Amino acid sequence: MTTAAAPVATAEEKRRIRWADLAPFIALGVIVFIGILINSNFASSANLINVITRSAFITIIAVGATFVISSGGLDLSVGSMMAFVTGIMIMTMNGLAPSYGSWAIVMGAGVALVVGGLCGLFNGLIITVGRIEPFIVTLGTMGIFRAFITFMSDGGSLPIDRSLREAYRPVYFGDFLGIPYPVLITLAVVLLGAFLLYRTKYGRRLTSVGSNAEVARFSGVNVSRVRTLAYVIQGLCVGVAAICYVPRLGAATPTTGQLWELQVITAVVIGGTLLRGGRGRIWGSVAGALILEVIANVMVLSDMVSEYLVAAVQGAIIIIAMLAHRFTSSR
Amino acid sequence: MNSLAHRAATKNARAPAAEVLRAEGLSKAYGAITVLSDVTLDIRAGEIHAIIGENGAGKSTLMKLLSGHVTPTAGDLLMEGQPLAFADSVEAENAGIVLVHQEILLADDLTVAENIFLGRELRRGFMVDDRAMNRRAAELLARIGSVARPRHRVGDLPLAQRQLVQIARALLDERKVVIFDEPTAVLANDEVAALLDIIRGLREHGVAVLYISHRLDEIQTLADRVTVLRDGRMIGTWPAAELNQRQMAELMVGRELDMLYPNKRAATSEEPLLSVTDLEVDQGAQKASFAVRPGEVLGLGGMIGSGRTELIEGLMGLRSSQAASVVVNGREISHRSVASMMEAGLVYLTEDRKGKGLLLDEKLAPNLTLQALEAVNPATILDRRAELAALRKAVADYDIRVRSLTLEAGKLSGGNQQKLLLAKLMMTDPSVVIIDEPTRGIDIGNKSQIYDFIDAMVRAGKACIVISSEMQELVGLADRVLVMRAGRIVAELSGGEINEGNVVYAATSGAHGSTGEDLHDHSGRTRRDS
């Protein structure tokens, strides 16, 4: 028998430190350190809070994407979906504002969540019931949602009603004990996501589906339902992100959320979630989103590299992260 | 096929065999763990040299050392007297040594010929010469008795044919040493016979064949010499004629064997725990009716491709199927799915341990509790303490040998994976357990334990259906045997009727049977007619 039948030892339950799991956090630390060296303003609390707040949208959507990707799926439509949900939400709020006043904001937020969830459900059902590759389905819906927002805004801007601006503004610009609301909302989404993924039966089933869908099917897991739910969770996260986003710019445009899907997938993957499914790292995705935002910030603060190259550096990061992963995992 | 006399004659007729490959004091260690120590072995031209040992005895490591897949920590390799060191398997192949892997390593979407020539494509100018490759592939396939055509897509072929394509790929170039790692694990009996003939053909051509298998009966009919490994050490090399199967098994385990199979039982009640009437599985089985009673092991035999696995997957709702009636534990099941069957008390252990049974990248506890997630964790929140307790209990109850409870399931040996899988099913507290190939590819010690587990559960009043391609296993274990051919149940054997001859006869000839023709044709398989 293997290793002469060493019976079950007990000391082994101690958790070993796995460097690969810590890599995104170490990378984040290194980039922050570099930022401090380059520009002393970087470490100011105002700047740091600003950076974290701005990363909120990508982080929130990345939490949902962690579910989708862990289940073995992919959602390219999140950026367009975000714009579409934003548009619907603004139209709802504007429509309800005359009769309900500030309550229209709450109702609009509710509509955003419902519409986001439905968009996700739509993606999920086509993928699972229609048995079409997630890449293809969400490529299609990406175009559809993008066209919808362009149509709704008539190619221009779809602003929120003036009467609502003041009441809605604090959702992005306000704070509680010095912590901006978007950061608190992000934290809530992340904690909820981590709880769902790591501590519930649903999370366990999702991981099993992503790890090997056949094994899950043979074990009585309803694979289609688990997968579809992952897209619904993604849609809900997009809804939350939209709620936080509108007070920042006050309008939806055809370019809202453009290319966010790439940032989101980058954040998730450099956070340590496997693109082929089976391993989700919620906190890693948070670190990934922060890395992207911090790099952009450091580049803006330093004069060495043009900020027009931010996307290039972010693109390079995902490649470097994957290379690092390859070299650390293949002993 | 070859008569014994003929074999003896050819054996004697061969010239004194020249040594082709020699291992001197070969050792391999990973860190502090030595997996193979001090193996000295000579392999001669024109011999079939079998390597046997339990799982974990070091057979795979030895094969990988000889074929350049891993490098030794100590010791030497000599090829025809010249010292050798391989940086990788390509260098070994260039030197004339090739390993035919146990797993099928082919590109499903390429054709047979493209797979055979993958990386070694024939060219005409700078273009790939498809015509020449298809022609050579056809010759090669004909030589090894494969019915696959060069232009077939590999993914459409049955497992056995893919195995032959893999062998054809290994034999494309002239080889001095061909290493087979359990080549018959996925084959049915007639296919095994054909493969063994191919291997004998290699011997006649003066090729040195190293042969690893758990099937001792094959080794006895095939091998010239047998080397036994145990716990990473070499026990010795014997002429095959000097050992019988029992002696081989005892050398492998290092002790005298108890009886491998438990005593037979009889059903304790006439009231069936599972009864199936007229089950039709699309492209798999027709009009299947059977029942299993508490306290009995029902064997399900037949050739691979006869529809055994399809029948059961259909029953479990894993394939599209219709049935007049399925009753589990007295409950009529209208909607069949793994979940609803499990709830009624029926579970199925797949033959595909790695592809459909276990999450190889996941740890042991999530694997163990995946099917019984609701039972172990009544609340929405996972109860990690309960999961760990369940794992400890399973490890103890099923004698799963693990270094650590936080290993990934893929790191366990085949036998321990199988025990974990069995434990996983038993977590659901079933009353009927269907086990497909309970001991495929696992060593004799684990085998005997799994037989004991099956015996114990049945004696505790459960019922068990065992599907097996291994005739001995079917005969040794089952109280009643159903034999399938071409998607139909063609015979039921009980008591003294259960013997290998009757099972094979029913599976291959018998009175029934011209019906399932189309079934076989769609998979490209030839079948024998009565």
Lowest mean pLDDT, pick from B149-163, B335-349, B381-395: B149-163
Mean pLDDT (whole number) for A190-218: 95
Q: Which of A13, A21, A201, A211 to mutate to test the interface with B (most CBs of B within 10 A)?
A: A201
Task: Give yes or no for a contact between B473 and B439, defined as CB atoms under 8 angstroms apart.
Answer: yes
Task: Give yes or no for a contact between A256 and A82, defined as CB atoms under 8 angstroms apart.
Answer: yes
Instruction: Determine, for residues B381 and A221 on separate chains, whether the beta-carbon distance falls below 8 Å.
Output: no
Closest CA of chain B from A221, distance in Å = 7
ipTM of the complex: 0.85
**Where exactly does CATH 3.40.50.300 map onto chain B?**
1-96+177-256, 274-522
Closest CA of chain A from B399, distance in Å = 9
Contacts of B430 in chain A (CB under 8 A): none
pLDDT of residue B175: 87
pLDDT band at B11 (very low <50, low <70, confident <90, very high): very low
Instruction: Determine, for residues B362 and A278 on separate chains, whether the beta-carbon distance falls below 8 Å.
Output: yes
Residue type, A280: G
Domain A41-324 has what CATH class? mainly alpha
Per-residue tokens: B261:
């199979």
* B422, pLDDT greater than 60: yes
Task: Give yes or no for a contact between A106 and A93, defined as CB atoms under 8 angstroms apart.
Answer: no
Nearest C-alpha neighbor of B208 from the set B63, B44, B339, B77: B44
pLDDT of residue B205: 86
Residue-averaged pLDDT of chain B = 85
Task: Give yes or no for a contact between A71 and A277, defined as CB atoms under 8 angstroms apart.
Answer: yes
Task: Give yes or no for a contact between B443 and B410, defined as CB atoms under 8 angstroms apart.
Answer: no
Nearest chain B residue to A10 by CA distance is B404
Contacts of B416 in chain A (CB under 8 A): 2
Q: How far apart are CA A322 and CA B3, in angstroms?
A: 59
Contacts of A6 in chain B (CB under 8 A): 401, 403
pLDDT of residue A11: 41
Tell me the pLDDT tens digit for each residue of B225-254: 999 998 888 999 999 999 888 788 778 877
Instruction: Determine, for residues A215 and B371 on separate chains, whether the beta-carbon distance falls below 8 Å.
Output: no
Sequence-separated (6 or more) residues with CB below 8 Å from residue A191: none
Task: Give yes or no for a contact between A174 and A181, defined as CB atoms under 8 angstroms apart.
Answer: yes
Instruction: Determine, for residues A218 and B370 on separate chains, whether the beta-carbon distance falls below 8 Å.
Output: no
Q: How far apart are CA B224 and CA B244, in angstroms?
A: 13
Task: Give yes or no for a contact between A221 and B356, defined as CB atoms under 8 angstroms apart.
Answer: no
- Report CA-CA distances (Å) from A163 to A68, A74, A95, A119, A173: 38, 39, 12, 29, 17
Closest CA of chain A from B63, distance in Å = 17
Tell me the pLDDT tens digit for each residue of A233-261: 999 999 999 999 999 888 999 999 999 99
Of B475 and A124, more confident: A124
* A3, pLDDT greater than 60: no
**Adjacent-strand bridge partners of B127:** B124
Contacts of B401 in chain A (CB under 8 A): 1-3, 5-7
Which residue ranges make up each domain of chain A? 41-324
Q: Using the Cα atoms of residue B486, residue B491, residue B494 and residue B499 in order, give the sign of their dihedral.
A: negative
Instruction: Determine, for residues A214 and B355 on separate chains, whether the beta-carbon distance falls below 8 Å.
Output: yes
Contacts of A202 in chain B (CB under 8 A): 380
Closest CA of chain A from B359, distance in Å = 6
Tell me the pLDDT tens digit for each residue of B69-124: 888 999 988 888 888 888 888 888 888 899 988 778 888 899 999 998 888 888 88
pLDDT of residue B469: 82
pLDDT of residue A311: 84
Sequence-separated (6 or more) residues with CB below 8 Å from residue A308: none
pLDDT of residue B409: 92
CATH assignment of B1-96+177-256, given 3.40.50.300, 3.30.420.40, 1.10.10.60, 3.40.1000.10?
3.40.50.300
pTM of the full structure: 0.75
Kindly write down the DSSP assignment for every residue of A203-237, as one continuous string: HHHHHHHHH-HHHHHHTT--HHHHHHHHHHHHHHH
B114 CB-contact burial (10 Å; exposed 0-12 / middle 13-18 / buried 19+): buried
pLDDT band at B215 (very low <50, low <70, confident <90, very high): confident
Q: What percent of chain B has pLDDT over 70?
A: 91
Closest CA of chain A from B469, distance in Å = 21
pLDDT of residue B517: 36
Nearest chain B residue to A196 by CA distance is B381
Instruction: Determine, for residues A211 and B361 on separate chains, whether the beta-carbon distance falls below 8 Å.
Output: yes
- Report CA-CA distances (Å) from A58 to A197, A260, B177, B254: 19, 7, 57, 61
Lowest mean pLDDT, pick from B42-51, B52-61, B325-334, B367-376: B52-61
Instruction: Determine, for residues A1 and B366 on separate chains, whether the beta-carbon distance falls below 8 Å.
Output: no
Nearest chain B residue to A11 by CA distance is B404
Q: Which of B358, B387, B402 to mutate to test the interface with A (most CBs of A within 10 A)?
A: B402
pLDDT of residue B259: 65
Q: Using the Cα atoms of residue A207, residue A209, residue A213 and residue A217 in order, give the sign of their dihedral.
A: positive
Contacts of B33 in chain A (CB under 8 A): 3
Instruction: Determine, for residues B402 and A205 on separate chains, whether the beta-carbon distance falls below 8 Å.
Output: no
Contacts of B405 in chain A (CB under 8 A): 8, 12-13
Interface of A with B (CB under 8 A): 1-9, 12-13, 199-205, 207-208, 211-212, 214-222, 278-279
pLDDT band at A19 (very low <50, low <70, confident <90, very high): low
Closest CA of chain B from A12, distance in Å = 6
pLDDT of residue A16: 52
**Adjacent-strand bridge partners of B99:** B179
Of A215, A220, A221, the CB nearest to B357: A215
Nearest chain A residue to B356 by CA distance is A215
Instruction: Determine, for residues A200 and B382 on separate chains, whether the beta-carbon distance falls below 8 Å.
Output: yes
Nearest chain A residue to B363 by CA distance is A208
Q: How far apart are CA B9 and CA A12, in angstroms?
A: 58
pLDDT of residue A2: 39
Of A8, A214, A279, the CB nearest to B356: A214
Of A1, A205, A217, the CB nearest to B318: A217
* B512, pLDDT greater than 60: no
Q: How far apart are CA A60 and CA A42, in angstroms?
A: 24
CATH code that applies to domain B274-522: 3.40.50.300
Nearest C-alpha neighbor of A240 from the set A76, A68, A55, A64: A64
